[in-house]
Structure formats: C-alpha cells, structure tokens
Amino acid sequence: MRFDVLTLFPDLFPGYLGQSLLKKAIDRGMVQVELHDLRRWSKDKHHKVDDRPFGGGPGMVLRVEPVVECVEDVQRRANGPGRVVMLTPQGRKLNQQIVEELAQEDRLLLLCGRYEGFDQRVVDLLQPDEISAGDYILNGGEVAAMVIIDAVVRLVPGVLGEEQSTVEDSFSTGNRHLEWAQYTRPREYRGHKVPEVLLSGDHKAIAQWRREQGFLKTKTRRADLLETPPTELPPPAGSSEPPAQKNEPTKSAPIQDKTKTDN
C-alpha cells in the first residue's frame, strides 16, 4: 500500500509515521508513505502557492497550477495513477465503510488543503474523491490525512498481529455496533470487579455477554448505527429467529454542515 501526501507542511508527518504500528509496517515494506511539498511545483521565485480570492473576501486560496502539476507529476512516479483524495469539509464524512473502501486501493494520493481551500479548478480538473474528517474546524488537511493513513493501514493484511481484531472493531463491516467493555488484571480495583462471566471460561456465555454489551452501548450512545430499531436485540449468530418488534425509534432532524475550513 502506497500513500503520497501532497502538503505545504511535510515536516508534520515524520514524527507521527515513526512510531508504533505505522513504523513497523513501513520498516517491513508493507506500507510506503511519500511526502511531497507543494511549494516545489510553484513557479513563483518565492515559492508561493496561494493568492487572494477573485471577488474579494478574507484569507488566501491555493492556486490551481502548482497543485494540479504536483499531482500529475507524482502520479507519473509509480505504477498506476492512484486514487486522488482531497481532504475538504465539503466532502463525504469519513467513516469505517469509507476506510474499508480506501483500503482496497493499491495507492492513495492525499491532497491536504490550507487557508481558504483550493481553487475550484483543482476539483474540476482532478475530479478527486472529496472526504471530510468531520464537522469541526482544523487548520488544514494534514491531520485528516494522518487519520486516513492510520485507519487504512490497520486494514492492510499482516499489519496487525490478529486479523480478527479488525473484524471485531467498532463500525467494521459485519459489526456496526460499538465494541463491548474490555477488562484485564487486576480482577478487582477499588471495589470495581471484572464481570464474573468473563472469568468463567464459558466461551459461549462470554460471546453472548459481549454481543449484548456491544448492542446496549450502541443503543445508548450511537443508535444511528443500528440496522434494526434500537429497541431490538439482534438474534445470536446462526439464529433464524427475527428480533422481537418493539417501539419504533424517534427520528431526529438532520444536522446541517456549517464547517468552513479544510478538514
């Protein structure tokens, strides 16, 4: 898996990429991350890549020429052009399904915005996959690019010690519930005990407890994730029984996205 990060601030990445699972994946040759400074494609003697917006207004806009020419040049450097992802608040909101979709690619070009964003002709010419990290304000797309790298790398075969852990993660395909509560030693701390079922050795009972706990946590905290109404508990795996019908959940009005700067 190869990531090409196109950014004005490449020095933000080495520290992050040099730690933990990401470092191991890179050292083992399972993942490749290349950083490209957009200023290198500027024809301005001061290496400027931004300018004031036509029509007036605050801030600066990233110019079309250095961005498009950087992407085209980087695409020629390896086999296959790769999938261009623009980090922008106007894109579809990142979730685990999108992460799984991106993980199917051999190469991703992550285009990090700054200031007031990109000249619209960057979008018109490159037709990127526009993705937002969420409905909140960031100084630029670099942190969002790190989020995508981190989330996608976990799904690269062999990166994690236990492949099953990605299947059981919250939001993963086949498990749209939040993960159950986890415990380790000691068995008791300040009066708080580990649930007895987890110490029983009964794997069937443990699996049932975890399934129920994950469902209840999802119903309480993220009912929107449930494919069935949040008042229903899905039947155990392999069961042909439909869940019992209860009260329909109340639908809330959609929240409007008022984010401005690049995520």
d(CA 26, CA 42): 30
User: Roughly how many angstroms between the first and final C-alpha of the chain, as a whole number?
Assistant: 23
- β-strands 32-37, 129-132 pairing: unpaired
* Interacting residues of 197 by C-beta distance below 8 A, sequence separation 6+: 205, 206, 209
* Given the residues 169, 176, 222, 234, the one annotated as active site: 169
- The residue assigned the tokens 């009066």 is 191
Q: Torsions phi, psi of 254, nearest 5?
A: -65, 145
DSSP 52: P
Is 187 tagged catalytic?
no
Which of 176, 86, 173 shows the shortest CA–CA distance to 132? 86
* Given the residues 50, 66, 107, 116, the one annotated as active site: 116
* Given the residues 2, 39, 83, 154, the one annotated as active site: 154
Is 185 tagged catalytic?
no
Is 89 tagged catalytic?
yes
d(CA 155, CA 157): 6
Is 169 tagged catalytic?
yes
CB 104 within 8 A of CB 129: no
Which H or E run contains 193?
A: strand 192-193
112, two tokens: 């990090």
* Given the residues 89, 128, 211, 230, the one annotated as active site: 89
Report, as residue numbers or ranges, the catalytic residues: 89, 116, 154, 169
